Structure 1
Amino acid sequence: MKIILTHEVSGLGGPGDVVEVKDGYARNYLVPRGLAIRWTRGGEKDVEQIRRGRKLREIASVEQANVVKAELEGVKVRLKGRAGDAGRLFGAVTAADIASAIKAAGGPDVDKRRIEVATPIKTLGSHAVSVRLHPEVSAKVNLEVQSA
């Protein structure tokens, strides 16, 4: 099935890309979650609009990505969360929480979809989080989760 991606999907492509995937993957996962729309002749007009929006948000060059990487890695990010006596959080830290904590710490504005958390953060303490800035550049952010 041919689809048009509306958001970045790891291993598949970015917004505005037209890709061919298995019918079930598109019908059961990508389309219901809003990550893609079905390809139609009328949808081709939407592709250009999606690509224009992508260019505005995207970091254009590797040099610019390296500057943002240095900025991100120099920021101390602290996040407060409610936790029990054993240091386990009530819930988990989401990518949106991390993006807002980076902004509050004085870091650059980061899209929550670019933040990759290897394992769900459910405990207090220090955690490493990866931020994809460019296909060739990824920044490591140290996140300190503290009790509220």
Structure 2
Amino acid sequence: MKIILLKDIPGLGQFGNTVTVKAGYARNYLVPYGMAVFCNVNNIKELQSKNHEIQLKEKIDIKNAQLRILQIKKISPITIFTKSRETGKLFGSIGLKEILHEITELGVSVEKHELMIADNVIRKTGKYYIIFQPYTHVSCYILVRIIAQ
């Protein structure tokens, strides 16, 4: 039985692909759970119009993400002052929460899930590069300097 996938299914295909599966698998699992629709002329036309809308929305999201990256690059590097020992080791650590607070203080709105630190926390003074990823496959590095008070 031919079906059109509405979701990415590992081992079967990706969104929009037309695949052939056993009739019971399609009728009892894929179609009732909204993972696929039967392959007919109406569903093909509907999928094409839906696919066009998705592509337009994705272009808009990518443009917005690029504009947000430009805002981040204007305020980079970010400097955080904190207490540390003479060896450079911090009393405590700097995490996403502190970096997020500094970025929002500079006037740029960022969500916590958009930032990534290589080791999850920073424990020494120095320069670190944090990844800012506002959208899939759209990212940049933010220079964060940790300086002892």
Alignment of 1:20-59 (within 5 A): none
The alignment's TM-score, normalised by the length of structure 2, stands at: 0.56
Match of 1:63 in 2: 63
The alignment's TM-score, normalised by the length of structure 1, stands at: 0.56
Deviations 1:33-56 (A, max 9, x none): xxxxxxxxxxxxxxxxxxxxxxxx
State whether residues 78 and 105 of structure 1, in contact with CA within 8 Å, keep that contact through their aligned partners in structure 2: no
Shift of 1:123: 1.0
Match of 1:83 in 2: 84
**Equivalent position SS for 2:68:** helix
Shift of 1:104: 1.8
Match of 1:139 in 2: 140
Gaps in structure 2 of 5+ consecutive residues? 1-59
Cα distance in 2 for residues equivalent to 1:74 and 1:96: 21
Gaps in structure 1 of 5+ consecutive residues? 1-59
Output the aligned Cα RMSD: 2.6
Match of 2:98 in 1: 97
Shift of 1:79: 0.9
**Equivalent position SS for 1:61:** helix
Shift of 1:74: 2.1
Cα distance in 2 for residues equivalent to 1:66 and 1:72: 10
Identity of aligned residues (%): 17
Deviations 1:93-118 (A, max 9, x none): 11010011112233x11112221000
**Equivalent position SS for 2:98:** helix
Q: What amino acid maps onto 2:88 in structure 1?
A: G
Shift of 1:125: 1.5
Match of 2:117 in 1: 117
Shift of 1:139: 2.1
Look at both structures and tell me which one has the larger radius of gyration over its CA atoms: 2
Cα distance in 1 for residues equivalent to 2:61 and 2:131: 19
Regions of 4+ moved over 3 Å: none
Cα distance in 1 for residues equivalent to 2:103 and 2:147: 15
Shift of 1:130: 0.4
